[in-house]
Structure 1
Amino acid sequence: MTWHWVAEHEPRWDQDKAAALGDLPPTLFGLGHPEVGRPLGDAWWRVEDETGAAIGYGRLDDTWGDAEILIIAAPTVRRTGVGAFVLENLEREAAARQLNYVYNVVPTRHPAGEDVRGWLTHHGFAATEVGELRKRVAAGATPRAD
């Protein structure tokens, strides 16, 4: 499989993002009730497969030297490595911005919250006293050029 990491220069809510969330509501991730075409804040990238179809997304919200991340893998490609691909590239993007940590807060209402927390821990994240899962950004990493 060949996946491509594509920057969204003017990210907007669209049907592909909605489809990638599957049954998970956008409100679960602080996205509110977005309408198609609505601009999105933060930095967004999409993962495209060899046909150009969007199969995943990554979001980086950087403030004060750290960045909250959002990893989305479409239901049809979950457990295939797309999430790890998104995470790897988000870490590279954070390093290119000279950020210190990437972090995620798994919503308590997330139906697979324990699985997500376990996945993040498996990928090097550690829980903090305020409920975040944090990972130090590797210095010198650069985004992949696909």
Structure 2
Amino acid sequence: MEVHGQGWTKEAPARWDAAKAAAFGDLSPALFGLGTPADGEPLGDEWWRAEDGRGVIGYGRLDDSWGDAEILIVVHPDRRGEGLGAVVLDRLEHEAGRRHLNYVDNVVPLTHPRREEVSGWLRAHGFEEKADGELRKRVPRAVVT
């Protein structure tokens, strides 16, 4: 699927690999509840890979349950600041809308080295912070194909 010039591919099955490790950069996957996966190890939840003509730009993860979805957005360190996180967020919201989910949410770990920056980015993209630190956004109700 082409999205604003970017490729968006569901990984089935999703596995830890060198491209994911590069996209996470200096962020440990354990920070996001992924443990310390070995190369080729399967990953839980649903993952999509975002690519352009230069390679993998990032990943989106969606874990839906109880009518909502926890999401994770990862953009390759060399590509941060180009607006690509918004593209990944848009695609995850599109998928959540297609499933008729109510909210997408994210909890930025307290130990995240750029916690305030990431939380601010999510708020700027329509997420509201709850008292427990969870950031959540209502999924648009547009008809999604």
Identify the TM-score tier after normalising by the shorter chain: over 0.9
Q: Provide the aligned length of Structure 1 versus Structure 2.
A: 142
Query: Is there any run of 5+ residues in structure 1 with no aligned partner, and where?
Result: none
Question: Per the alignment, do residues 35 and 104 of structure 1 end up closer, same or farther by CA in structure 2, a change over 3 Å counting?
Answer: same
Question: Per the alignment, do residues 92 and 9 of structure 1 end up closer, same or farther by CA in structure 2, a change over 3 Å counting?
Answer: same
Cα shift at 1:2? 2.3
Determine the C-alpha separation between the residues in 2 that align with 1:27 and 1:133.
20
Q: Provide the residue aligned with 2:96 in structure 1.
A: 94
Matched-pair identity in %:
58
| Deviant stretches of 4+, over 3 Å | none
Q: 1:47-86 maps to which residues of 2 (within 5 A)?
A: 47-51=50-54, 53-86=55-88
Q: Provide the residue aligned with 1:142 in structure 2.
A: 144
- TM-score, normalising length: structure 2: 0.94
Determine the C-alpha separation between the residues in 1 that align with 2:33 and 2:70.
12
Code of the aligned partner of 1:142:
V
| 1:43-88 alpha-carbon deviations (Å, 9 max, x no partner) | 100101124x111000000110000000000001001011000000
- TM-score, normalising length: structure 1: 0.94
Question: What is the CA RMSD across the aligned residues, in angstroms?
Answer: 1.2
Q: Provide the residue aligned with 1:107 in structure 2.
A: 109
Q: Provide the residue aligned with 1:116 in structure 2.
A: 118
Cα shift at 1:142? 2.8
Query: Is there any run of 5+ residues in structure 2 with no aligned partner, and where?
Result: none
